Structure formats: structure tokens, C-alpha cells
């Protein structure tokens, strides 16, 4: 543990991270602590109640709700997604991985709920290098802080898949599709569903898609690592943008399945 703390200190002193917080459970022992700052400029120390953008750890929260709905017999693993999202009835798939975005063929089968959970539905992700990911980027899929989840999923339904459903594992936006299905099944906003089913029962009082004004001074500042300069870029006007430094703290419409929680 001493060696680990020394390593964290070296990284903070080198400007690679503003701060580090950890909790390690080994057998019957718990090792926890924190070093560094919420941000470099203020030098405000990390506290026991500091807040973070948890990015893709949003995904398991969404997946738990889906499993709850399966237990309640409101949805099945083998259900095809068009039972809930008929706009995906006209999906196509790239002919090959090297195909032009317009060179597509029909899908062999419609993705299922199981495919969405396993990332085998055929979707891609904006930051991957394939042709579908580049198309996501070109059309601005999940790039706006002001669109609803419904609007983003409607846009996704107009774009081709990267591969045939159930044939390959590709890390993807599939959990965002699950999140929209949750909204449709429950007839509630995603925030409301998570609040009732997860956050309130577990007393997760600080977990949400939005942060109250009074909590902002506890939020870790988002930085972007510059691999060429080997340093963190200072936050700027881009801080609230998806591409780069973070996602918004105060958007009433911003709720996603793949990221977005604090």
C-alpha cells in the first residue's frame, strides 16, 4: 500500500492527475484514501465526499434495471428490439468492415435485448476507428448536450450497423438503446426510474444525471490528457462538451445509458 501511495504521489507531482482516490478490498481488509486535488488551479484537496463523472460506470446501473424488468416479466432477453423501438425495422449492416458507409446489406436478424446487454447487437461507438463510428461522429450522434435520449436513439436507427447482430462483440452504444427501452416500458424519464429503483433504495444521495448548484464545489474537474505533450490540458469552454472534457452538470434533457451519471 505504501508503494501504491508513492506511485500516486509521483503521478500527481508530475501533473498527470490532479488527484487520486481509492478503495481496495482484500480478504477482510479495506484500504482506502485519497491524494491530491479536485483541480490543479484551486489546489482544493479531495474530500471524503468528492464527486466524479463516472462515465461508463453508468452502464451497469442501466443493466441492473433491465435485469429487474426481466425478473418482473416486463421484458425478455430474447425480445427483439423492434418490439419496443419499431424505427429499427429498416436496419442495414456494412457489407464488410472496409466498406463505404453506403455499401450495406440487409441484416440477418434483428438485435435482441440479450445482444444489447452483451454488446453483440452490431452497433459501434463514436471513438472507435471503423466506418460506422466515423459516421456517428459525422452526424453528431451523442455529441449534443441538449438532445433527449429519444432523439439520439431515433438518429441511431437511421444509421447502419457495423456487423451482423449476434456475430461479434463490439463495445458500443447498445446500453443507450437499453436506456431508451427502459423509458418506454416504464413511461418515465430515465432519471426518475433510476432514482426509484436504484439510488433511493441504496441511499445513493449524490448519484444523478444532474448536480445541484450546492454540490458543484465538490466535483472533480475534468481534464484531457495530451499524449504528445504528456500532460493534462487545462479545462476551457470545452469543459461541458462530450468531445473532450466532460458532460454537463445542469442539462434538464441530458440522460444517457452509456455515460452521464455523477
Q: Which pTM does this prediction carry?
A: 0.91
CA atoms within 13 A on the CB side of 114: 8
pLDDT at 235: 59
In this prediction, the residues of the chain whose per-residue pLDDT falls under 50 are 236-244
pLDDT at 227: 67
Contact criterion met (CB below 8 Å) for 140 and 192: no
pLDDT at 239: 43
Instruction: Cell numbers for 245, please give them.
Output: 472534457
pLDDT at 80: 99
Read off the pLDDT of residues 156-213 as tens digits, 9 standing for 90 and up. 999 999 999 999 999 999 999 999 999 999 999 999 999 999 999 999 999 999 999 9
Contact criterion met (CB below 8 Å) for 178 and 258: no
Residue 77's CB is within 10 A of a number of other CB atoms, namely 14
pLDDT at 229: 67
Contact criterion met (CB below 8 Å) for 183 and 149: yes
DSSP string, 26-92: ETTEEEEEEEEBS-TTT-PBP-TT-B---GGGHHHHHHHHHHHHHHTTSS-TT-BGGGT-GGGGG-E
pLDDT at 1: 72
Burial class (CB in 10 A: 0-12, 13-18, 19+), 236: exposed
Domains of the chain with CATH codes:
2-53+208-229 (no CATH), 57-195 (3.40.710.10)
pLDDT at 41: 84
Amino acid at each position: 500500500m505504501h508503494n501504491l501511495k508513492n506511485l500516486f504521489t509521483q503521478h500527481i507531482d508530475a501533473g498527470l492527475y490532479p488527484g487520486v482516490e481509492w478503495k481496495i478490498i482484500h480478504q477482510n481488509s479495506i484500504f482506502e484514501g485519497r491524494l491530491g486535488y479536485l483541480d490543479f488551479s484551486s489546489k482544493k484537496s479531495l474530500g471524503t465526499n468528492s464527486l466524479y463523472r463516472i462515465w461508463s460506470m453508468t452502464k451497469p446501473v442501466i443493466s441492473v434495471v433491465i435485469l429487474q424488468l426481466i425478473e418482473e416479466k416486463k421484458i425478455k432477453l430474447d425480445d427483439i428490439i423492434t418490439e419496443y423501438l419499431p424505427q429499427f425495422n429498416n436496419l442495414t449492416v456494412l457489407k464488410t468492415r472496409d466498406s463505404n458507409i453506403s455499401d450495406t446489406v440487409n441484416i440477418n436478424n434483428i438485435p435482441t435485448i440479450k445482444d444489447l446487454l452483451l454488446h453483440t447487437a452490431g452497433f459501434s461507438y463514436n471513438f472507435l476507428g471503423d466506418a460506422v463510428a466515423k459516421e456517428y461522429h459525422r452526424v453528431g450522434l451523442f455529441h449534443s448536450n441538449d438532445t433527449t435520449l429519444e432523439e439520439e436513439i431515433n438518429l441511431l436507427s437511421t444509421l447502419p450497423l457495423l456487423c451482423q447482430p449476434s456475430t461479434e462483440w463490439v463495445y458500443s452504444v447498445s446500453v443507450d438503446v437499453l436506456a431508451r427501452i427502459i423509458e418506454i416500458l416504464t413511461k418515465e424519464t430515465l432519471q426518475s426510474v433510476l432514482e426509484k429503483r436504484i439510488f433511493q433504495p441504496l441511499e445513493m444521495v449524490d448519484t444523478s444525471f444532474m448536480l445541484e448548484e450546492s454540490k458543484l464545489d465538490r466535483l472533480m474537474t475534468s481534464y484531457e490528457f495530451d499524449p504528445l505533450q504528456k500532460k493534462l490540458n487545462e479545462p476551457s469552454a470545452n469543459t461541458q462538451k462530450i468531445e473532450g472534457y466532460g458532460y454537463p452538470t445542469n442539462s434538464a434533457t441530458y440522460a444517457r445509458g452509456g455515460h452521464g451519471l455523477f
